[in-house]
Chain A
């Protein structure tokens, strides 16, 4: 053993260790777990978007066959509300409105899908049958589904105590400076746009099992979560009042999250609490319809923006006004998404000297809205990259040229934006030029002409974007209202024979961490990949962790591992020095071999590991036995991946159908650990971005009913909706983490939607289209073409 395996280290496209398990159906997901004596929970949900609950009669349900228990909100007087993890302050400094989010509705139901009662049954079917037998007397109230309706004077109140349905009215930037800059503008470009609401639709529906051991007073929750320690903290401390040492949270294999499985959901508290009440395990698994009406939705912004330019097309100032839909209750990170994850990105890759943004977050009678792949950054990018294209069209400056003129130059890093962030590195020109070449931008007009000859409208669109991820420095987010730290934890456990178990506080739910993180160990310690296992997702095994979101697992979690490996190597060198009778300073370590500098005296990794655990010849007075180290890593800054996406589309004017012909992504994700996994992450993100831009439409009607509540009406992107995606990277290293990595999980979903819409608008150029809202469906595009037909004919 201890063979150096360079092809498995950093930069190697090794196959994913987890895929044998996933592809052969041997994954172990929450619903695959069954506990002895397990019961099943069925949740009765409000069919009304807004209703007073006059009474709930559970007598008939309780008498049904197989019913173990029926609970309503009235049975849970001691439970806390489901907490929000980020407190935003209003312009005047007062805290946001934070109404109680009861585990089961009390007094009022506030959205279609709000949990009203739960039946615990011997079987799933019996629980469901009984749930239907619960008689709830609702008094329906008028509902509001959109931010506009919720803010209208006299609108019905979602929460009686929240005036005007306003959660907060927040701003960032210096308004006076900003307004002054507009007075000097040669040109002001305005744009109003919507960032469409999305349903996350992870392949695996949410599920949870609560278990209680009365001999030890210990609770266990198995749940579909991206961050089990965070759930333990939120649910234990705030909702159920169970101390950490009596609460274990396990997030086993999880089939996709995209953000929707970050948050603490009522069902987790329900099954855990109910397991204690009835003394038996309780399982709940969402049906697909429940996923649509209870998984936190994404995006849902309505924005008005103004961009001031000088006579040369240099951006002078940006003013943004956004309404953000929070849904009926504040989900875990909901409040941070349209503020610190959005408005702080409004400088984009440009030198705009002043940015002012104000954001109103609004309660509505809809499913709570929270982070969804990209979270805030796609909203910022879509706004900016559409606005820049409109500015190009209205100033007559070429859309590449206007970007080049405004790019933050390479020598300006570290670059302080006017909206709090300091970018550490980037090369926007390089990613742009590489993408232009790959996409053959220069040859596009010939392709447009060729398409026209076939009766097709061809368009090309670009987006040059930046995002902030690798979240986040605890002190910074703490000063901005976060109620948690955002460091990460890694344990490197070297076993006596030299193999390694890594405990990480991040969580893999499709991203391939079991491979990527193992490659870090192989690269640093020289242990073959097969001898490195990554363990995640269990609070009983992992010291602590903040989980996976905001593309933080490698940048923050990987960095914690590096710190822990530093400790391992330092200790191992001391052991090696002892064995080789050399001084520690003279012992060099390089991927598995310890050497006394300048000699041929060496010790292998395995010998040192064994010595650490069999300390017969050991500096026992100075050094503890064992080789097992833990590190907490708190990042110094966010990381700033960026790049350029180019999309080419063809529209069939007769039907309005858009076909994405090809898509080019050149991203700077920092150092690339596994190029194959990066490519997969970017492709997946681009698929979701194309979905948002062209297909996915979450629609509520005026009564607050979710019209697109199934795959019959909600269009997920499918394989044949997607083009070949060319993925390449251009690396500038992150300057402040030990790996130089930035993150790749969200770039695809952040950079792509404006590239797609810019391409659609370009294709529709001859129809005078200035902007088209997402999703640009066939019906919508045909409507535009059809409406302008008489005008064109008249010309």
Chain B
């Protein structure tokens, strides 16, 4: 780890001020991604701005037909929150499968979504549920937010404050884990919200994406059979020592079937 300054602001305004004053400052939430990167000396921020003391980023609440989850909500909180379990059980179930116990008790939804690891879990829920990302400056639709591997619409210094999830009629998530890292090899988060179906695929490609052919099929026939014969194009999918693009393409269909079965 290289040397850096450490700040722990007590308000969102102070955090934004610190970050905008220094382009090489980095926010830190649970540190489950940033700390390993620092330890491997892959990152050299001048200062690290610890968000954990900012009340505005905390809390999980139901507001009308939306669930609003603060950026600092830990995976464990989302997994066990009565509000989340009642409103979007698939989201709670997903949170309970991220990493291990230690990771779930440190890692946050804001950190995960801001990081946009193609193999992460949450981005598929955000996209599949057509959530809105609330930052300190603006509101961003999920479709505009994720921009490929580790890239989002967030501007330098812009902070993710909360995520607003519309409450779906049905939603389900299934994934195949990478055998080594246990991140996602291929996953599908499928939701029907206000009658509209969205299928978000994570793990398989360089970023989370929507499988529109499956969305159309499911809109007509909400059942695993509707997607069973839809083949994901392997072109552009990830291929590595853990599996070829063809294998991942195949898994997309398998996970989509399972996600629908899970959604009921």
Contacts and interface: CB of A to CB of B under 8 A. Distances in A.
Interface of A: 125, 128-129, 132, 289, 654-657, 695, 697, 699, 707-708, 711-716, 777-779, 782-783, 786
Contacts of B242: 713, 777, 779
A785 to B, nearest CB: 10
Give 4 closest A-B pairs by Cβ, nearest first.
A779-B243, A715-B180, A712-B181, A715-B179
Contacts of A779: 242-244, 247
B180 A713 contact: yes
B180 A778 contact: no
Contacts of B181: 711-713
Q: Say what secondary structure dominates the interface of chain B.
A: loop
Contacts of B2: 129
B37 interface: no
A782 B179 CA distance: 14
B241 A707 contact: yes
A192 B183 CA distance: 34
Given A779-B243, A779-B244, A714 B180 contact: yes
B13 interface: no
Contacts of B250: 782, 786
Contact of A708 (B176, B241, B244, B247): B241
A705 to B, nearest CB: 12
- Interface extent on B, as a size class? 10 to 19
B180 A782 contact: no
Most chain A beta-carbon neighbours within 10 Å: one of B40, B179, B244, B250: B179
A656 B2 CA distance: 43
A713 B241 contact: yes
A655 B241 contact: no
B180 A655 contact: no
B254 A777 contact: no
A714 B251 CA distance: 21
Given A289-B40, A779-B243, A786-B246, 20 more contacts: A128-B41, A129-B2, A132-B41, A655-B251, A656-B247, A657-B176, A695-B179, A708-B241, A712-B180, A712-B181, A713-B180, A713-B181, A713-B241, A715-B179, A777-B179, A777-B242, A779-B244, A779-B247, A783-B244, A783-B247
Interface in B1-42: 1-2, 40-41
A716 B183 CA distance: 15
Nearest to A775: B179
A126 to B, nearest CB: 10
B254 A655 contact: yes
21 contacts: A125-B1, A132-B41, A289-B40, A655-B176, A655-B251, A655-B254, A695-B179, A697-B241, A707-B241, A708-B180, A712-B181, A712-B183, A713-B181, A713-B242, A715-B180, A777-B242, A778-B176, A778-B243, A779-B242, A782-B250, A786-B246
B100 to A, nearest CB: 10
Contacts of B41: 128, 132
A128 B39 CA distance: 12
A778 B241 contact: no
A711 B251 CA distance: 23
A778 B179 contact: yes
B251 to A, nearest CB: 7
Most chain B beta-carbon neighbours within 10 Å: one of A708, A778, A786: A778
A786 B243 CA distance: 13
A697 B180 CA distance: 10
Contacts of A128: 41
Contact of B180 (A654, A656, A711, A783): A711
A281 to B, nearest CB: 24
Interface in B34-63: 40-41
A152 B131 CA distance: 57
